[in-house]
Amino acid sequence: MNRCTPSFLAFALTLVTGLAMAQVPTPKAPVPAPVATPAAPLSPDTVHALTAEDLSSFFDGLVPFALQRGDVAGGVISVVKDGKLLFARGYGYADLKTRTAPTPDATLFRPGSTSKLFTWTAVMQQVELGKLDLDKDINGYLDFTIPARDGKPITLRNIMTHTPGFEDTARGLLPASTDDVDLEKYLKSHVPARIYAPGGIVAYSNYACGLAGYIVQRVSGQRFEDYIKQHIFDPLQMNHSSFAQPLPPALASLMSKGYEKASEGKPRAFEPVDPAPAGALSSSATDMANFMIAQLQGGQFGDARILQQATADLMHSPQHTAAPGLNGFDLGFYQEDSHGQRIIGHAGDTIVFHSDLHLMLDAHVGLFMSFNSAGNEGGAHVIRKAVFKSFLDRYFPYNAPAEPTVATARADAARVAGWYESSRRNDSSLRPLYLLGQTSVAPQPDNTLVISVWNNYAGKPLHWREVGPLVYREVNGDAHLKFVTDADGNIQYWATDVEAPVFVFQRVSAGRSMGRVSLLAGLSFVLLIVTLLSWGIGGWVRRHYGRALVLTPAQRRSRLWSRLGVLALFVDMAGWMTLLGISSVNEDPLLQGTMTPWLYLLFVLGVLALIGALAVVANVVRAWMAPRRGRWVLAGETLLGLAALYLAWFIVAFGMVSFNVRF
């Protein structure tokens, strides 16, 4: 999520306020688009003309400071309007060592998942040719089988709206070497579990996009990379773009370096992506401008056409939303409607490159930006979002209609309070990791809500007030959030337009919530530490003073096995905490799959920990059955037994003995 901390206050305030003042086949019935309420009249003095000159003043005053404050090495931006390139410029450095500046026409950046738009365009080309059907079982196009769930097969429409029902996958997504990239092998060896029926819950899936690219490859008879070049890059004169990994020598020399932070100055190697259709593109800002022009002009670029008008219109039509009235998905593009404008787009991220593309369909305006560093808390993730908001505020100012707070705010706040987890998650192997990603919905004394995952640019939590039945609006903002119920009125999930609609947040039962688990597991873990310390220190003290425990041989054996069980529980829990801690600061083990052996080790330790928990409980039973055990001893052993039982439940409930490395 795009979040920032209080240390970023100066940058955020300047960025958002101060700089804002600087100079085919018949589709199924589509989902109705959110209806925009007309804006209040604005003074002509508040509207800036969208010209090359004004864009130059705007971006030149905004971006260099943002890069420096966000610890980002460099970036590129291009803007198109009415079928023409209006603005293109590079900022900062493409290579910190040589101090080479990026150029918008000849420096390549990695757009990450923005690459998916080319895959979706290729799918629509094949739909247009009659080789693909958006609503047919995809198994009819594959040479392997994706199992159905609840009797429902996956369709290309499901894939293009990110509703195929797959759990998230990360293993091998960014392999260590381009030698490891193999689309067919990856897809056949990484089939994710299906955790939802298709067509329902939105859960973003890189794997599903890989399937779409593979299907294009099979029905066209061309390698995916070659198909995209011949049918999209060449017609659009995108001469500095490629899905090839590694890049051809002529393009490799033009590739920008990528950095985690500019201040570190150490570039990362070229980042391979597998499956390639999900994010392997390398491209220049002006090449991306050509693609935006074609999409905005119904598939036409100059004398060339990559889609027929009707196909482009279908691709840009609403298909699915998680909650009525909120932004959802067209075919491949997600909706970003804001400022009274109909907007579609797609962001993209590798570890070091971070990009975004926005198409304003009715204004015929497109904006692309890409940055070559993750940066600090106020880095690329914050910059790209704040730049686009400032762009809209400046050129498309909008006064959102007033919405009064409803009378049911207090009761509904209590109704929705609790913990929620992202629908985009991995349940097979990494449940402990996604436990840490849960977010809380907390009612406030003024009947607003605070949601832990959403902060403003100053690092302060956003507040939400109820403006309709289970519909909330950002206080002092325009974003909305909606809670969705089942037929019985039970809260199922919430969705929002404050971010891209690529997942929802589903309600978690109290027993599995981060609030409950962190308290009970934390106390249990502390009790393990105290027990182990007292075991070691107590033995030393007794030896020092010549005192011995008055226990029978059977009791001694039982106590020893109990303490070894405590040690096994401690090692297993500490091992998981270590692995999750490493993953939070270094994504390579997760994305390259090198954490797999460690997962197997932790699964083995989990089995030993469960056996250890039984030993602890057995010792508690023996302690209560033995005569002359002190009340404090019994109380301590009982608490330890309860802690062991809870941790045993935790290990099983969160898949820590699953021996499943499908992540």
CA–CA dist 211, 183 (Å, integer): 9
Q: What is the mean pLDDT of residues 512-537?
A: 93
Q: Which helix (H) or strand (E) holds 265?
A: none
pLDDT of 454 > 90? The answer is no
Q: What is the mean pLDDT of residues 425-454?
A: 94
Residues 6+ apart with CB under 8 A from 431: 654, 655, 656
Burial class from Cβ neighbours inside 10 Å (0-12, 13-18, 19+) for residue 179 reads: exposed
Q: What per-residue confidence (pLDDT) applies to 552?
A: 80
Confidence of residue 541 (pLDDT cuts 50, 70, 90): low
Q: What per-residue confidence (pLDDT) applies to 539?
A: 66
CA–CA dist 316, 515 (Å, integer): 41
Each residue of 347-366: pLDDT tens digit?
999 999 999 999 999 999 99
Q: Are strands 491-496 and 84-92 parallel, antiparallel or unpaired?
A: unpaired
Cβ atoms of residues 423 and 202 within 8 Å: yes
pLDDT of 613 > 90? The answer is yes
DSSP per residue over 550-581, as a string? ---HHHHHHHHHHHHHHHHHHHHHHHHHHHHH
Cβ atoms of residues 614 and 565 within 8 Å: yes
Strand ranges in 280-351 using DSSP code E only, listed in sequence order: 300-301, 304-305, 334-335, 343-349
pLDDT of 166 > 90? The answer is yes
Q: What per-residue confidence (pLDDT) applies to 349?
A: 97
pLDDT of 125 > 80? The answer is yes
DSSP per residue over 468-514, as a string? ETTEEEETTS--EEEEEE-TTS-EEEEEESSS-SSB-EEE--GGGSH
Return the amino acid letter for 498. V
Confidence of residue 317 (pLDDT cuts 50, 70, 90): very high
CA–CA dist 299, 304 (Å, integer): 8
Confidence of residue 336 (pLDDT cuts 50, 70, 90): very high
CA–CA dist 366, 66 (Å, integer): 21
Q: Which helix (H) or strand (E) holds 169?
A: none
Tokens at 247, concatenated: 């890049």
DSSP per residue over 393-438, as a string? HHHS---PPP-PPPTTHHHHHHHH-EEEEESS---SS-HHHHHTT-
Strand ranges in 82-167 using DSSP code E only, listed in sequence order: 84-92
pLDDT of 83 > 60? The answer is yes
Tokens at 13, concatenated: 């305030």
Closest CA to 277 of 224, 322, 236, 346: 224
Confidence of residue 4 (pLDDT cuts 50, 70, 90): very low
pLDDT of 109 > 80? The answer is yes
Cβ atoms of residues 125 and 306 within 8 Å: yes
Q: What per-residue confidence (pLDDT) applies to 593?
A: 86
Each residue of 632-659: pLDDT tens digit?
878 889 999 999 999 999 999 999 999 9
Residues above pLDDT 90, as percent of the chain: 81
- 17 DSSP 8-state letter: I
Q: What's the mean pLDDT when you consider all of the chain?
A: 90
Each residue of 289-303: pLDDT tens digit?
999 999 999 999 999
Q: What per-residue confidence (pLDDT) applies to 91?
A: 98
Confidence of residue 597 (pLDDT cuts 50, 70, 90): very high
CA–CA dist 202, 504 (Å, integer): 7
Tokens at 485, concatenated: 């119920």
Which has the minimum average pLDDT: 62-71, 313-322, 531-540, 597-606?
Answer: 531-540
Closest CA to 260 of 178, 354, 170: 354
Q: What is the mean pLDDT of residues 124-150?
A: 96
CA–CA dist 332, 119 (Å, integer): 9
CA–CA dist 210, 280 (Å, integer): 11
CA–CA dist 659, 428 (Å, integer): 9
Q: What per-residue confidence (pLDDT) applies to 551?
A: 74
pLDDT of 38 > 80? The answer is no
Phi, psi (rounded to 5 degrees) for 298: 65, 30
Q: What per-residue confidence (pLDDT) applies to 540?
A: 67
CA–CA dist 298, 309 (Å, integer): 5
CA–CA dist 374, 102 (Å, integer): 17
Confidence of residue 2 (pLDDT cuts 50, 70, 90): very low
Cβ atoms of residues 350 and 113 within 8 Å: no
Each residue of 177-208: pLDDT tens digit?
999 999 999 999 999 999 999 999 999 999 99
What are the CA-CA distances from residue 560 to residues 111, 246, 254, 606, 642 (Å)?
A: 58, 57, 65, 19, 18
Helix 596-625 and helix 631-653: axis angle, to 10°? 150
Question: 3-state DSSP call for residue 591?
Answer: helix
Q: What per-residue confidence (pLDDT) applies to 25?
A: 34
Each residue of 547-584: pLDDT tens digit?
666 678 888 899 899 999 999 999 999 999 999 898 88
539 vs 486: which has the higher pLDDT: 486
Each residue of 497-514: pLDDT tens digit?
999 999 999 999 999 999
- 201 DSSP 8-state letter: S
Q: What per-residue confidence (pLDDT) applies to 46?
A: 66
Confidence of residue 14 (pLDDT cuts 50, 70, 90): very low
Question: 3-state DSSP call for residue 258?
Answer: strand
Confidence of residue 30 (pLDDT cuts 50, 70, 90): very low
Burial 256-285 (b: 16+ CB within 10 A, else e): bbbbbbbeeeebbebbbbbbbbbbbbbbbb
Q: Which helix (H) or strand (E) holds 371?
A: strand 365-371
Q: What per-residue confidence (pLDDT) applies to 18?
A: 33
Q: What is the mean pLDDT of residues 67-81?
A: 97
Q: Would you put residue 319 in left (φ > 0), alpha (ψ -120 to 50) or beta? A: alpha
Bridge partners (DSSP) listed for residue 17: none
Helix residue spans in 201-253 (DSSP H): 206-220, 224-228, 249-252
